[in-house]
Amino acid sequence: MLSTMQDDQLSLANLLRHGSKLYADSEVITWTGGEARRETYGEVGKHSAQLANALRGLGVTGDQRVGTFMWNNAEHLAAYLAIPAMGAVLHTLNIRLFPEQLVFVANHAEDHVVIVDGTLVPLFAKQLPEMKTVRHVIVANGDPASLEAPAGVQVHSYDELVSGQPETFDWPEIDERSAAAMCYTSGTTGDPKGVVYSHRSIWLHSMQVCMTDSMRLDQSDKALVIVPMFHAMSWGMPYAAMMVGASMIMPDRFLQPEPIAQILAAERPTFAGAVPTIWQGLLQHLEANPQDISHLREVVVGGSAAPPAMMHTFEEKYGVPILHAWGMTETSPLGSVARPPASATGQEAWEYRYTQGRFPASVRARLINDAGEEVPWDGESVGELEVKGPWIAASYYGGIEVDPDKFHDGWLRTGDVGKITPDGFLTLTDRAKDVIKSGGEWISSVDLENHVMSHPAVAEAAVIGVPDEKWDERPLVAVVVREGQQVTAEELREYLQDKVAKWQLPEHWSFVDEVPKTSVGKFDKKRLRSAHAEGKLDIRHF
């Protein structure tokens, strides 16, 4: 028996029509350094149509890939909407990839057109000659004459290309399962892998972002979208905001603590999302330059776990709750959100908030141990997390053979190791490649990092396993001391005495100026391991 329901397509063309018409007065606000450039969603709809018409004129007539090499701004939002809505495929190029990786993903995706921010032209120009399929480059917010292109590549001014174009476009009917956008992993091991999102997956994911057990984005919100639009689709916030009419504040290239504080003061957003390092930097700025940020009803943090000490300071001193979320490029990226059960209060609620969160109805999860067996959700048993659902990747671009070990019986192997409570809250204890195996037991590098970073003199701490003849591996802690503070390895080791088991206490400590970061702001432990192997770390041994 079939249903009697209409089979309308969940396409981004429909989302664009909806958001630009029903929420025509909502705004996208682009920070330009000291002031804001404002555009209504109604105007965004017209500009998206103009961009689509311009791209048609450049030969984008089917599912060609159109790359973006851009900051978070109004032009990038128009590309987010116009490219998939016209039936082409948006490819967000990560500006922080290594040069050879950037060339690889542009060639692998076969980008036909790339839209580039003017301030990023010098970075992009170096790699353009090696991008074999690019035929057109559009320079936004800059001078196209600054880009010297190789033969066969035309360079255009964004403003000149779209001005004069019709403000309407005959948006096609699009199969919801067709490709809408693609994003490549950050390539920490091997070449970056391509994840291709469908119109359907983005639509369903956007609905989840707005749900009450998730980010609770709604029409009354003014969302500060710090998480890059060039990585993991900006956590789905641009599409979710268009769905419910929430206004967006785009910080463009102004991502340092001082301009972020200026944006908060000038625009008073109600919601924000970014990786923990952004908030750690802002916290240090606020300690020296106090200001009211209580207009933020909530901040969502992902990419890596936020130190509990930072979470407490933001809420108890500044009145801003920090909410953990977990996900990855392959999960669109929302996988779980740490919103405590309604019955939890006090310290119990905090314990829930320290986790990576509870899975929504559309994400199924399981834990698999070293023997390939599923382990129970008892809050104690540990295994590798595997997930599946309508916005979870089933393969990489190019097919399952690109990385067959990443997919297991229709489930995505996340590479994250953790445990799950009976009521579905996930706690990640490590990455599978980062867990420290010492004397037959596992030590969580994440737990050690959080404990060390709870010390008031510590700004950052990253933990890696180093070889040990007796125990196989032992933890090494790389510490960044807060400006104006002093602390010794002996003091930090003493500080950990009542926080971890005695056998987990690190014997190896190194003080560094900065913990190396990946292209998406996570601690780059691969580089730390290399520095250790090459003898570049000054280590204090116990």
CA 1 to CA 69: how far, in whole Å?
48
Is the residue at 409 inside a domain? no
Is the residue at 345 inside a domain? no
Is the residue at 140 inside a domain? yes
CA 469 to CA 453: how far, in whole Å?
28
CA 464 to CA 435: how far, in whole Å?
8
Q: Report pLDDT for 429.
A: 83
Name the phi and psi angles at 350, rounded to 5: -60, -40
CA 459 to CA 281: how far, in whole Å?
9
Residue ranges making up the domain that contains 509: 436-541
Is the residue at 100 inside a domain? yes
Domain limit, last residue, from 182, 198, 214: 198
Is the residue at 334 inside a domain? no
Q: Report pLDDT for 187.
A: 60
- State how beta strands 436-438 and 425-431 pair: unpaired
Domain limit, last residue, from 168, 198, 228: 198
Count of domains forming the chain? 2
Q: Which of 300, 333, 92 is nearest to 208 (CA)?
A: 333
Beta-carbon contacts of residue 393 (< 8 Å; ≥ 6 apart): 195, 330, 331, 412
Is the residue at 296 inside a domain? no
CATH number (domain holding residue 148): 3.40.50.12780
3-class DSSP assignment, residue 535 = coil
Question: Rounded to 5 degrees, what angle do the CA atoms 454, 460, 462 make?
Answer: 100
Beta-carbon contacts of residue 109 (< 8 Å; ≥ 6 apart): 65, 67, 91, 182, 184, 194, 397
Domain limit, last residue, from 171, 198, 225: 198
DSSP letter, residue 125: H
Catalytic (active-site) positions: 185, 330, 437, 442
CATH number (domain holding residue 444): 3.30.300.30
Q: Report pLDDT for 169.
A: 98
Is the residue at 117 inside a domain? yes
What pLDDT tens digit does each residue of the chain (542 aa) get?
999 999 999 999 999 999 999 999 999 999 999 899 999 999 999 999 999 999 999 999 999 999 999 999 999 999 999 999 999 999 999 998 889 999 999 999 999 999 999 999 999 999 999 999 999 999 999 999 999 999 999 999 999 999 999 999 999 999 999 999 999 997 655 789 999 999 999 999 999 999 999 999 999 999 999 999 999 999 999 999 999 999 999 999 999 999 999 999 999 999 999 988 899 999 999 999 999 999 999 999 998 788 898 999 999 999 999 999 999 999 999 999 999 999 999 999 999 999 999 999 999 999 999 889 999 999 999 999 999 999 999 999 999 889 999 999 999 999 999 999 999 999 998 777 787 878 767 788 888 998 999 999 999 999 999 998 888 889 999 999 999 999 999 999 999 999 988 888 999 999 999 999 876 677 888 889 899 989 999 999 98
Is the residue at 298 inside a domain? no
3-class DSSP assignment, residue 260 = helix
Name the phi and psi angles at 15, rounded to 5: -65, -40
Q: Are 186 and 97 in contact (CB under 8 A)?
A: yes
pTM of the model: 0.86
Q: Are 299 and 321 in contact (CB under 8 A)?
A: yes
